[in-house]
A and B are shown apart, each in its own frame.
Chain A
């Protein structure tokens, strides 16, 4: 697209058309109030792909065999704002209440599997790793597998690199920052190689049943602030997928404004001193 050409505009009808398509592909629904957010990113991709207008771009998006453009758009449309030790009370709940209960019924040779989804740029799974190492006294008695997944491939790459700015680490106590990070130029911090190598990062769309087939036998799932982006139907599908991913008796932690009880009766509500979480019946 020539820079002198006017910026393409997205009509209300085109917005609706795109919204329906994006919902079918990802389960993510945009309310009318998100119009500006969506239009801005669509226009950015229309220009980046040298499409003349929305119509041409949409045809390419729908029929491109590689799906490369759809993935680029998903990466832009998903929100990745997070930081280390966000909603720390849930990590306290994990080490003080959830893991002791899980450990009670585990043999020493059985791994404890924890899944962070969506993992965004890695702050949550690395926070989990740090919290376990620092605050769970029995951490050395078990093999603990940490899997972290997101739909956004570019953010996963960032997570694997593990480099963060000052804002992302601002809630971390200074001794932990020194212990687990190395300082880089430009006030950046990189998480230690040991921790980077202890988390398995994978790409997944949790509303896609076929993609979810490899995700099984987790003891704990952290799925915070994802379901709020879904509509009712996608929430149901996601809840089924999370149910499938958990072992009987496994736990799921949602964001503080989310409630599994409003979505499905599949899980039991567990009120621990630190937090309310949900459990797959045993």
Chain B
């Protein structure tokens, strides 16, 4: 025994997938009782970008962690408007894990998310606006600071503004400082907001290493 050399494919089971890999077959397998079959269906559906809606629908009800991860990987690979449109409603889910997964997925789709960001930040539900700000926290998009600045200029909800201020501490520049300075006045100089704004301005100006 000891070290032996074998062909890599033949010594392991090359592929466990024996079911049809066409679009219709994969969509059926996405609902299969076996998590392994659902996971492979989710991964292989990356070849069919028009299945984004079905993948998002499955994500909403899927409980198996590896299957959820496969669904998210495929959705991020597919990208584009259909994926963003399918993921956006899931930010309203009561399931915090799902919401966080969706936030992380949207963060990886900056170009596709950008046309929707303005609408997301004007949603009537303040929680939804906060989750949209969470998306902005790690969105590689040059407009992120401007979107956040607009939020603190207009949003009437103190928690939404505080979330935006928090993210601006990371992504904001000196141009944000005048807008930040005026913010506590919109909330009767609320002490919590004053504290948030001062801390953020210190970080932007580099006084708080």
Given the complex, which residues of B lie within 8 Å of A214, measured CB to CB?
8-9, 12, 14-15
Contact, CB under 8 Å: B3 / A146? yes
Contact, CB under 8 Å: B4 / A143? yes
Q: Any chain B CB within 8 A of the CB of A64? A: no
Interface size on B, residues (CB 8 A): 27
CB distance from A184 to the nearest CB of B (A): 23
Q: How far is the CA of A262 from the CA of B4 in the complex (A)?
A: 35
CB distance from B96 to the nearest CB of A (A): 14
**Chain B positions 39 through 71: 1 when the CB is less than 8 Å from some CB of chain A, otherwise 0:** 000011010000000000000000001100110
Given the complex, which residues of B lie within 8 Å of A181, measured CB to CB?
none
Q: Assuming A144-B3, A144-B4, is B9 touching A236 (CB within 8 A)?
A: no
Q: How far is the CA of A209 from the CA of B43 in the complex (A)?
A: 9
Q: Which residues 130-144 of A have a CB within 8 angstroms of B?
A: 132-133, 139-144
Contact, CB under 8 Å: A145 / B1? no
Given the complex, which residues of A lie within 8 Å of B34, measured CB to CB?
none
**Chain B positions 1 through 32: 1 when the CB is less than 8 Å from some CB of chain A, otherwise 0:** 11111111101111110000000000000000
Contact, CB under 8 Å: A143 / B1? yes
Q: Assuming A213-B15, A218-B12, A232-B108, is B5 touching A198 (CB within 8 A)?
A: yes
Q: Any chain B CB within 8 A of the CB of A217? A: yes
Given the complex, which residues of B lie within 8 Å of A70, measured CB to CB?
none
Q: Any chain B CB within 8 A of the CB of A85? A: no
Given the complex, which residues of B lie within 8 Å of A232, measured CB to CB?
108
Contact, CB under 8 Å: B14 / A216? yes
Q: How far is the CA of A186 from the CA of B13 in the complex (A)?
A: 44
Contact, CB under 8 Å: A215 / B12? yes
**7 more CB-based (< 8 A) A-B contacts, given A145-B6, A200-B5, A214-B14:** A129-B3, A145-B11, A146-B3, A198-B3, A214-B9, A236-B73, A264-B69
A-B contact pairs, 25 of them (CB 8 A): A111-B6, A113-B12, A129-B3, A142-B2, A143-B1, A143-B4, A144-B2, A145-B4, A145-B6, A145-B8, A195-B3, A198-B4, A198-B5, A200-B5, A209-B44, A209-B46, A214-B9, A216-B15, A216-B16, A217-B13, A233-B77, A237-B73, A240-B69, A265-B65, A266-B69
| The 9 nearest A-B residue pairs measured at CB | A217-B12, A214-B9, A198-B3, A216-B12, A147-B8, A143-B4, A236-B73, A213-B15, A140-B2
* B interface with A by C-beta (< 8 Å): 1-9, 11-16, 43-44, 46, 65-66, 69-70, 72-73, 76-77, 108
* A interface with B by C-beta (< 8 Å): 111, 113, 129, 132-133, 139-147, 149, 195, 197-200, 202, 209, 213-218, 232-233, 236-237, 240, 243, 264-266
